[in-house]
Amino acid sequence: MKKVIKMVLAIVFGIVILLTLVSIAGISLFNSNVEKEKEVFFDANIKSDDKILLEDLDTLPDLIKNYLIKVGVVGKLKHCNVVFNQKGRIRNNPDKSWLEFTATQYMSSTNPGFIWKAKSLPMLIRDKSINAKGEVKVSFLGLKNVTQISGLEADQSSLGRYLGELIWFPIGFLDPDIFWEIIDAKSVKVIMVKGDLTLDGVFFFNKNGLIDRFETKRYRNFTLENFIGEIGTYKNYDGLLIPDSMTAIWNLKERKFEYFKATIVDYKISGISY
C-alpha cells in the first residue's frame, strides 16, 4: 500500500511540475511576442534631439495650451517613448467580481497608439492600437487564446482608449492628427483623425486647469456606448505632471458601472533610442 501511495504522489508531483513548466513556457512566449511588438512600435530608426518649444503650442486653444505648460511638456523631447507599470482591478460586467491585475503600458509620440500588457492569472491580456488598428487578445497562461477581437469596432474602441489615456502621455496631444474645438471655459472637444477613422470626445478641466474627466463613445462588445474616464490626483512622474490613477466607466442606459481602475506604479520616459 505504501508503494502505491508513493507512486501516486510521485505521479501527482510530476503532473504539477509539468503543468508548472508548461505554464512558465506559455507566459514566457506571450511576453516575448509582446516584446517583439514593442520593438517595432518603438521605432528606433527615428533619432531626434528636437525639444518642444513654447511656440509649438501657439495654435492650440488656451485650455490645452495652458494645460500642457502646467504638466511640463515644454522642453521635453518631441520624439520619445514612455513605459509605465500599473496595478488595478478590472471586470467586464457590473454583476461580476473585480479581478486584480498588474500591467505594463507602452506609448510613443512617433507612432501614436499604445500596447497594454496585463496579467490577472491565469489570464494574460494584450490590448493595442497601432496605426489605428486595434486588437484585444486574452490568453489562458499564454497557451490558448480565449478571446481575440479585431475589426472596425476594436479599431474605434482602442483609439478611444488611446485618446483618453493621453493624460498619461501629454506629449501625444501635439499629434498633428488631433484637432480642437472650444466648448466653454472648462471643456474642449477633441477630434482625432487616423486613416479612415474619426473619433471625437470632450475633455473637462478642473479649477487648476488640469484635465479631470474625458467622455466619448466607445464600443462595448459590438454596441456603441457612452464612456467616461475619471482622472485621479496629479503627481510628478519623470518630469511630467500626470494623474496617478484613472477609473473607466460605462455610462449605459440602464446604469453606470465602473469596470477598470488603474494606478501608476512607476513611469519612465525616454528618447527613441530606448
Residue 217 has pLDDT above 90, yes or no: yes
Cα–Cα distance between 33 and 49 in angstroms, integer? 30
Instruction: Give the whole-angstrom CA distance, residue 189 versus residue 200.
Output: 7
pLDDT (0 to 100) of residue 95 = 85
Question: pTM of the full predicted structure?
Answer: 0.90
Task: Provide the strand spans (E) within 45-122.
Answer: 80-90, 99-108, 113-120
Residues 199, 118: Cα–Cα separation, whole Å: 25
Q: What is the pLDDT of residue 15?
A: 54
Question: Rounded mean pLDDT of 226-255?
Answer: 95
Per cent of the chain over pLDDT 90 is 72
Secondary structure (3-state) at 214: strand
Who has greater pLDDT, 215 or 253?
Answer: 215
Domain boundaries, the chain: 2-271
Mean pLDDT of the chain: 89
How do residues 175-184 score in pLDDT, each as one tens digit? Answer: 999 999 999 9
Report the share of the chain in percent with pLDDT over 70. 88
| Tens-digit pLDDT profile for residues 78-113 | 999 999 999 999 998 888 899 999 999 999 998 999
Summarize pLDDT for 124-153 with one digit per residue, the tens. 999 999 989 999 999 998 788 888 999 999
18 pLDDT above the threshold of 70: no
Coil, helix or strand for 28? helix
Pick the CATH number of 2-271 from 3.90.1300.10, 2.50.20.10, 2.40.50.100, 1.20.1440.230: 2.50.20.10
Residues in the chain: 274
* pLDDT over 80 at 7, yes or no: no
Amino acid 32: pLDDT: 84
Residue with the larger pLDDT of the pair 235 and 142? 235
Please give the residue that has the higher pLDDT: either 141 or 251. Answer: 251
Looking at residue 270, what is its pLDDT? 83
* Amino acid 241: pLDDT: 97
User: Which of these ranges, 6-20, 114-128, 191-205, has the smallest mean pLDDT?
Assistant: 6-20
